[in-house]
Structure 1
């Protein structure tokens, strides 16, 4: 990769001001395989200045021009599809089929949905004698995570461009290669100089200077709630807009009229997808107490059928988790589940049998989990499922909502009206009924400590716009 030791600023690949580098580790082997440049506040200043210079012209570009640009980005993205698959598989350990059909697919799907939304988006409308204009908010700092790198990069960059904003992107330094390739895609697509800029680095060295920068008008951040709080504090002094998609501890309520064979099996698979590294994963399965033993049996059988192994093996369902730190955190939480008295149904401590290298976690299921237990309250971010029994539907709803998070919730029922009624009582930004397909036009974001703002398609475009009322415009 020719540009790993450079940053993309004002349409050029430039040497980092810091001169510092960082090794990127393949989590399936625990071996470093490439070095990237990591930046500092000086690199951020250069990138923000470039974005600021580009903003006046790009913010008044026509919708047609921005639409054509996004369509060209999509065309080049498809040309680089296989490169992205290989990169995301190596940098975060995603099995190749999952990298292709989910990770890289999500970036393409969000480009397509943003393009579709922009075609019908209303930037100007009449309210009586006042004209209401929606205008680009300005220079945007975009900070994205490692777990769904392309999903979150495209969820921010595409709507920002659609709105007429200019951006500085900091991908995760743990999984940065997809971001570098994405910058190459935008360059080849002809994005005007300064409209898109990329600086790699750590949160303290790059993310903090971006979020506090006086010439940045908005920060869009995806990551942990802890880091999100720090970003919001850094941004507060300059009163910039902060949009955040943060942690989750999503409940999956299986109502009494659910099809338990299907609902439990799909719930296990949903929790363990991406090795459990999804902020909206259904990590708390709530089942009627009378069905608890049956649910444990189905969950155990499902978990034991999943193959954990090399991302490059076609039979692999689950790859490693991202890092040694993440592996150790997950092991600690599994230990807490055991010590606090939950029933270990499948998996447990240590690596799966036959794997002595790589950050592989055993697909783990706990039963008899009580709402007060650590594994029922803390975001684990690994392939660990907690199954909680409930005595009544009212109690299930109460348990589901008893969390500081509110990103997603899941409801399973053979009667759609029943599921809809329960969905209306969930304190979460997204509620999924009976495991629907991924909808990249639905609003995505959270209640409570899961963040604010909404992403995907037109909802994402709205987040990057200011509203201006021109009073006295006339009819």
Structure 2
């Protein structure tokens, strides 16, 4: 298990000598003490990235960069079981889910390995006999800040396109979940990534993250996390005119019309909000249901929700693992209490299950009915296994309720009416709409949000635009 900072192609202790504890949320046991990066370490990492940008990486053919990313993908698959177990223990994910996420990380590097030499400029027709065309080049040193809920997957979402475009990077994983990022650093050497191209500096946001955002030689920041932190990053980045892309919070609606396939909708809906213990920015935590089917829907939803197995993530059969930390657990519990105090009815869940490790942060999935759009459980991103069901009378009200949010990341729509699909998908203010399913993410398609959910699009070929500069060239026919 790697526990030191990865700077300039080697593992080093933090300049301060400080470390911080990394614990298993399943049982509270210490996994490791990891070197705590600070401003001096960020400066060293950025320096290594600048040096690497001036070395062989800058002249390497895009096809060669792509080959390195393909080798990283292969090494993730080769080490999938070890990485999955590490992610399971560090993030509290059920082991089966962790395996799927490691495979997705590998798929991401594979996709951008293939895309590296397919991000083209264009030839532009202009008046006269000259030739006008564009070329693309790297932005420079990129600071990539990733969250704790999908540690390696979201790191891959940012690293894949950043490296494919020829940038060098400083990756700051969350201090809750730094272990798979450090493991990836070791694999990158084996894949042939030149030293200094990838640097990994775990540490707290106020010291380590702020130093990265404010460093004068960092030209691009990509952040996934809370809207409040994203807002602070935008302000800080403005002073240096840095490029910024943000994937922030969500309070996604799940809109169920009276003609929906109820059985399929229930099965997909519960997973869309309770997967990863609800710690997902795309969680469909507002279910808007047509009044004609509201009671039947709620009854079926509660019945299905009660079947979830909450337990130790390494135990066979576990479907929902622990909450990441005591602080997050307390925050979710406070929202459940506020929901009841504001008049919503808790139909099931929201309590600690029996038979789980005493120091783990476990919570049964909670379903509220009788909620309205003024309640905090409806308006705020809870980031936990809590869903509120709200009735609507017609299409217009469904759209109004769906859009009555500071966020605009994703939504689901359940209906057999094609005309309604076209109307509602156009009207809903969000970056991703899923029809008769709950899937928000496809590797080949752009992902991102409207309003307070962020700026820019990750994944697909669109992500390459975030990590490249466009230069226009005009050649006059003398």
For normalisation by structure 2, the TM-score amounts to 0.96
Cα root mean square deviation, aligned: 1.5
Match of 1:188 among 164, 187, 190: 190
Alignment of 1:373-412 (within 5 A): 373-412=375-414
Shift of 1:11: 1.2
Q: Which moved more, 1:120-129 or 1:292-301?
A: 120-129
Shift of 1:56: 2.9
Q: What is the aligned partner in structure 1 of residue 274 from structure 2?
A: 272
SS at match of 1:217: strand
Shift of 1:124: 4.9
Asked if 2 retains the 8 angstrom alpha-carbon contact of 1:118 and 1:458, the reply is no
Note closer, same or farther for the CA distance 1:325–1:436 as it changes in structure 2 (3 Å cut): closer
Aligned residues: 471
Q: Which moved more, 1:378-387 or 1:428-437?
A: 428-437
Asked if 2 retains the 8 angstrom alpha-carbon contact of 1:111 and 1:154, the reply is yes
Can you give the 5+ residue segments of structure 1 that lack an aligned partner in the other structure? none
Q: Structure 1: how far apart are the matches of 2:86 and 2:161?
A: 24
Q: What is the aligned partner in structure 2 of residue 36 from structure 1?
A: 34
Shift of 1:473: 5.7
Q: Structure 1: how far apart are the matches of 2:248 and 2:22?
A: 24
SS at match of 2:113: helix
Q: Structure 2: how far apart are the matches of 1:274 and 1:436?
A: 14
Q: What is the aligned partner in structure 1 of residue 343 from structure 2?
A: 341
Q: Which moved more, 1:75-84 or 1:324-333?
A: 75-84
Note closer, same or farther for the CA distance 1:471–1:337 as it changes in structure 2 (3 Å cut): same
Shift of 1:199: 0.7
Note closer, same or farther for the CA distance 1:467–1:352 as it changes in structure 2 (3 Å cut): same
Q: Structure 1: how far apart are the matches of 2:213 and 2:477?
A: 39
Question: What are the superposed Cα offsets for residues 74-121 of structure 1, whole Å, 9 maximum, x if unpaired?
Answer: 1211122111101110011101111112x2122112122223333532
SS at match of 1:424: helix
Matched, 1:228 2:227: no
Q: What is the aligned partner in structure 2 of residue 240 from structure 1?
A: 242
Q: What is the aligned partner in structure 1 of residue 164 from structure 2?
A: 162
Shift of 1:261: 2.3
Question: What are the superposed Cα offsets for residues 408-432 of structure 1, whole Å, 9 maximum, x if unpaired?
Answer: 1111112344323311111111111
Q: Structure 2: how far apart are the matches of 1:127 and 1:33?
A: 60
Asked if 2 retains the 8 angstrom alpha-carbon contact of 1:251 and 1:409, the reply is yes
Matched, 1:446 2:449: yes
Alignment of 1:340-379 (within 5 A): 340-348=342-350, 350-355=351-356, 356-379=358-381
Alignment of 1:214-225 (within 5 A): 214-225=216-227
Shift of 1:41: 0.5
Q: Structure 2: how far apart are the matches of 1:186 and 1:417?
A: 49
Alignment of 1:173-212 (within 5 A): 173-212=175-214
Matched, 1:75 2:74: yes
SS at match of 2:472: strand
SS at match of 2:116: helix
Q: Which moved more, 1:241-250 or 1:31-40?
A: 31-40
Shift of 1:215: 0.4
Shift of 1:373: 0.6
Q: Structure 1: how far apart are the matches of 2:88 and 2:201?
A: 22
Q: Structure 2: how far apart are the matches of 1:413 and 1:56?
A: 54
Q: What is the aligned partner in structure 1 of residue 8 from structure 2?
A: 10
Q: What is the aligned partner in structure 1 of residue 432 from structure 2?
A: 430
Task: Return structure 1 stretches of 4+ with deviation > 6 angstroms.
Answer: none
Asked if 2 retains the 8 angstrom alpha-carbon contact of 1:95 and 1:316, the reply is yes
Shift of 1:177: 0.6
Shift of 1:210: 0.2
Q: What is the aligned partner in structure 2 of residue 92 from structure 1?
A: 91
SS at match of 2:461: helix
Q: Structure 2: how far apart are the matches of 1:67 and 1:457?
A: 15
SS at match of 2:5: strand
Can you give the 5+ residue segments of structure 2 that lack an aligned partner in the other structure? none
Question: What are the superposed Cα offsets for residues 184-240 of structure 1, whole Å, 9 maximum, x if unpaired?
Answer: 111111101111111110101110000010000000000011111121222121110
Q: Structure 2: how far apart are the matches of 1:276 and 1:195?
A: 34
Shift of 1:460: 1.4
Question: What are the superposed Cα offsets for residues 447-472 of structure 1, whole Å, 9 maximum, x if unpaired?
Answer: 11111011113121110011111133
Asked if 2 retains the 8 angstrom alpha-carbon contact of 1:123 and 1:135, the reply is no
Note closer, same or farther for the CA distance 1:448–1:200 as it changes in structure 2 (3 Å cut): same
Asked if 1 retains the 8 angstrom alpha-carbon contact of 2:73 and 2:107, the reply is no
Q: Structure 2: how far apart are the matches of 1:474 and 1:146?
A: 55
Note closer, same or farther for the CA distance 1:319–1:473 as it changes in structure 2 (3 Å cut): farther
Alignment of 1:4-153 (within 5 A): 4=3, 6-57=4-55, 58-101=57-100, 103-128=101-126, 129-153=131-155
Note closer, same or farther for the CA distance 1:153–1:466 as it changes in structure 2 (3 Å cut): same
Note closer, same or farther for the CA distance 1:416–1:183 as it changes in structure 2 (3 Å cut): farther
